[in-house]
Every structure is written in C-alpha cells, then in structure tokens.
Structure 1
C-alpha cells in the first residue's frame, strides 16, 4: 500500500488533515471527496497533476480520517454550509487566494458553494453530478418513487435505528452503498478497504447523521452559518468555468438525458456523461476526471 504523507492545518473548528502533492509553488488544485469515500478517490489523479507542476491538496472532510474537531462542545454539523466554510478556511490557512476545485458528493457540494458565493476564489470547477447546492426549503416535497427508493439510506439515518445501524455496522453499510451506487465498477471490492479506515473517525456518525437530517429540516444547523444557508436558499448561479461529470451507471443519481442543472451555470459550462461509471466518479474514471481538470486549466 502506498504511504501518503499527511499534513494538518488548524481552522476555527477543525484540525484538518490533508495530503499534499507537487511543488509548494505550483498553482493550487483542491480535490474533495464525498460520502462515504476518502482521499483515496484521487490516488490516480493527484500524482498526475503534481507531475505537471501543480500543487495538489486532498483533505479529509470533517468526520473522516485524521481530521478532528478542536472542541468537544462544537456541533458535529454535516450541513452544506459547514463543508463550504471548511473549504474556505482551509484555503485561508494555507494562504491560497484562488484555486481550481474538483469534488463530488459532499466534496462537490462544498466546491459548488464556494464557486457560487465566492467566485473570485475559484479559477475553475469540476463537479460530480452538476449543481450540488441543496434546495433545503423545498426538501420535503416528494420525489418520483424511483428516486425515493434510491434514497432509502437517508430516511434510515433519520431514525434512531439508523443511527445505531451506522454506528455498529459502518463499514458494512458503507460498503453496501459503494456496491449500490457503482454497480458496474469492477474494482469496488478491491478499492473499498483503502477508504474504509477513514470512517472510523469518532465524529463520523454524528456528522453523517446531521448532514442527512439537516438537509430535510429535521435538525437545526450551526447558527453561525445561518447567513450562508439563507444565501444558498436562493440557489445562486455558478459563473466560473465548469465541467460537470455524470456517471451513466450512478446507482443513487443516474444521469438524465436532459441536463436539468444547466440553468444554474451562468459561465462557460459543459456536461459530460461517463458510460460505465457510477457515483464514485474520480476513482472509477480518473482519466476522464483528470482530462476535465486539464481542459479547464489549459484554457
């Protein structure tokens, strides 16, 4: 197994652990994983970017791996604004005024929010599955039955039984989600053990449960971030150059023929559907992810 040197930086709430590749003087690219994944999603991407001279930062999100909350009494929030605030504070702590961002799932949400609200901080964006900002005020409206079925795990997490299940069976449950969300990925069983230890973080369950409850207005958020949640409720557009990568075989959010997100992107924008790819886009399709980043960076 490849060893990945770790660094840590302190923000207002966290000691964020991250992996860094490439020269410190290179243009910064931040790669952000989702749930239930880890920086291992970028094992084939970060070194390739570093080899071309970029400074590549791959953090563990709150609740994952060695990243830790500083204070025991801090709300273990998983709300979308907390993820975005962590990304902003990571950039500030590393003196990064502007970066290129790539993320999917939770990480894509953080990247999209920063691109929408602080476009001057983002040179370009590669986002998994398009516009990742949650429309929380309308979150209680029912979806098509097929979509509701795919979201079973979210409703499970709304219950005490779901909390107990995630606590007692976190590795088995997360492995099941990997299988369901990437049903045609041949390397899932081999790759999962590389990410699973990141879920042993003592705050993993609390952060995950809060994330899935807050987005449906079943849990209160961090009051210091309410201003950002209000801004996000307006569903702001993203103006930075963006490529959206969508897995054609995504078991939780399969790519639709019609791009329903296009109206949220007000700048240069392209959507690429990836055949044979599920939800874990950068790990399943590293070449396509790398190409999307380089296509944006070289223009």
Structure 2
C-alpha cells in the first residue's frame, strides 16, 4: 500500500513488513512526516508486523482541504479509520507521537472497535492535557499553541530558510534531524503548504465536536514520556491514567527530549513490541 483515499482526499502511506502481518499504524506529529518513524517501523516490521505510516491530513499534498474546520480531531481520527479499512478493517495496534498521539487516543476513544492496543508517545489523552493546562505549568509550556492561532503568521515564519530547523533544535532535535524534517516537509508540495497543513491542526482545536475529548479509552494503553520534554509537563502525563479503562502502563525515559522516536527508537520499539505482543 502506498496510498489510501477518503472523501476525495488522497493520503500517502509508507508500508513496511509482510502484507499478512498484524497491522500497526504509526502516526506522526508536528512538524514531521511518516519518514520520522523509519527506525521504529523497521524494528516492528522485522518482528513480523505490517507497519503502515501515513502522511496525515495537511501533510499529504493530496489531502489539504481548505478551512480549519476540516482539521478537527474527529476528522483526523476518521482518516485513520479509512486507513484501517483500506488495510483490511482491523482492529489494529496504533502508535502516535506528538499530535499523532492525540489522533491515536481519539481513534481509540471514538472508534474502540478498530483498536487492539494504543500507544501514546510524548502527549497524553487530550482530556488529561486540558486539565493540566488549567492547573499546572502546562499552560506556559504550550505558549506556542496560541501563536499558531494567528492567521498566516506561523507558516510565513516557519517556511523561511532555516527557521524550522532552528526551532526544532531548541526543543532538543539534532541539527541533522531538524534539516531532515524540513526537507521532508518541503518535498510534500512545498514547505509553506506542509507547515500550514500542520498548523491547521492547532487552529481547529476550538472547533472539536467533543471539546477536550472527554471520552475514556478502553483498549490496553501504553504511555511513553521523556523528562527532557519541553512541550509536555509531567503533570499532564500523570493525569493520563484517569482516562484509561483498560490495562495501562506509563514509561518515562530519562534524559531524552520530546523527539523520542528519533532519539530512542530501539528502546521505544522494544516497549511497543512488548505491549502489542501481549494482545
């Protein structure tokens, strides 16, 4: 599989592993693409899983609808459902990093019949995140989300030569990987268009049909967070358990930045393989 469609939109997909393997969805975050999962994907594929990593809405050149309403989390989760259907209907294991984690939690909460297990990397369930915004320093860490609400400004700034790598390096990404991420976005129909597609996910948050997504997750869940994360607080992660109804496990990586799939891919893959093998 190299693509799938939904409502006239075409999403690009990177597939690893045997076609008859148990499917695992890998959902990337901002500002990255499916290519950011490469080391983890190969580990899972070597273990016999069919790994599907899409360039999500706004990142795939063929899936950039106009208007921020089209980027609500309900639409993002429905895109993942369409991928599950294209892959045979599921249920699937789903792993998401950053915004991809929010989509993974939403998929498990809104479409529980499609999810066998869920793994959130770096970002907890939206309801836990929202509660932390009201009662901890998370609101200060999330200052950039308010800037992203400004029309046109974020994509103009981040599409300037070298601007995106500089921002990523301040959050712990290496210079080499920051340039890789910039190049990957630029190859998806232009850097500014790809950045705008990702920023629209932030702009759509006030328009969610289920504000804060206060819906618990029933599937067995794994949360992986790192204490070097400059975007997500420990308080937000510790509140995640309140929204889990099935078996739940929290793993904390010490001395690792927000970019866990890049910085500690083997350790993350080991945890995911252990988590999915049990179900």
TM-score class, shorter: 0.7 to 0.9
Displacement of 1:67: 4.2
Displacement of 1:192: 2.2
In the TM superposition, structure 1's runs of 4+ consecutive aligned residues that sit over 6 Å from their partners are none
Residues 204-219 of structure 1: pairs in structure 2 closer than 5 A: 204-215=194-205, 217=206
Residue 20 of structure 1 corresponds to 15
Residue 3 of structure 1 corresponds to none
Residue from 48, 55, 68 that aligns with 1:53: 48
| Most deviating of 191-200 and 32-41 | 191-200
Residue 181 of structure 1 corresponds to 171
Q: Normalising by structure 1, what TM-score?
A: 0.80
Contact 2:226–2:255 (CA under 8 A) maintained in structure 1 = yes
Displacement of 1:116: 1.2
Between Structure 1 and Structure 2, the one with more helix by share is 2
Q: Which runs of 5 or more residues in structure 2 are unaligned? A: none
Contact 2:159–2:195 (CA under 8 A) maintained in structure 1 = no
Residue from 21, 30, 34 that aligns with 1:39: 34
Tell me the alpha carbon deviations over residues 187-214 of structure 1, each in whole angstroms, 9 at most, x when there is no partner.
x112222222332345424433332222
Residue 151 of structure 1 corresponds to 142
Q: Which runs of 5 or more residues in structure 1 are unaligned? A: 1-5
Structure 1 30/36 Cα, relative in aligned 2: closer, same or farther at 3 Å? Answer: same
Contact 2:138–2:236 (CA under 8 A) maintained in structure 1 = no
State the secondary structure of the residue aligned to 1:192. helix
Structure 1 101/161 Cα, relative in aligned 2: closer, same or farther at 3 Å? Answer: closer
Residue from 182, 187, 191 that aligns with 1:196: 182
Residue 108 of structure 1 corresponds to 101
Residue 247 of structure 2 corresponds to 268
Structure 1 73/267 Cα, relative in aligned 2: closer, same or farther at 3 Å? Answer: closer
Contact 2:39–2:265 (CA under 8 A) maintained in structure 1 = yes
Contact 2:122–2:260 (CA under 8 A) maintained in structure 1 = no
Question: Distance between the aligned counterparts of 2:162 and 2:71, measured in 1?
Answer: 21
Contact 1:180–1:252 (CA under 8 A) maintained in structure 2 = no
Question: Distance between the aligned counterparts of 1:96 and 1:192, measured in 2?
Answer: 35
Contact 1:77–1:207 (CA under 8 A) maintained in structure 2 = no
Structure 1 135/166 Cα, relative in aligned 2: closer, same or farther at 3 Å? Answer: farther
Question: Distance between the aligned counterparts of 1:15 and 1:258, measured in 2?
Answer: 34
Contact 1:83–1:106 (CA under 8 A) maintained in structure 2 = no
Question: Distance between the aligned counterparts of 1:258 and 1:21, measured in 2?
Answer: 30
Displacement of 1:26: 0.6
Displacement of 1:13: 4.1
Structure 1 291/15 Cα, relative in aligned 2: closer, same or farther at 3 Å? Answer: same
Displacement of 1:260: 1.6
Residues 119-158 of structure 1: pairs in structure 2 closer than 5 A: 119-129=112-122, 131-133=124-126, 146-158=137-149
Residue 68 of structure 1 corresponds to 62
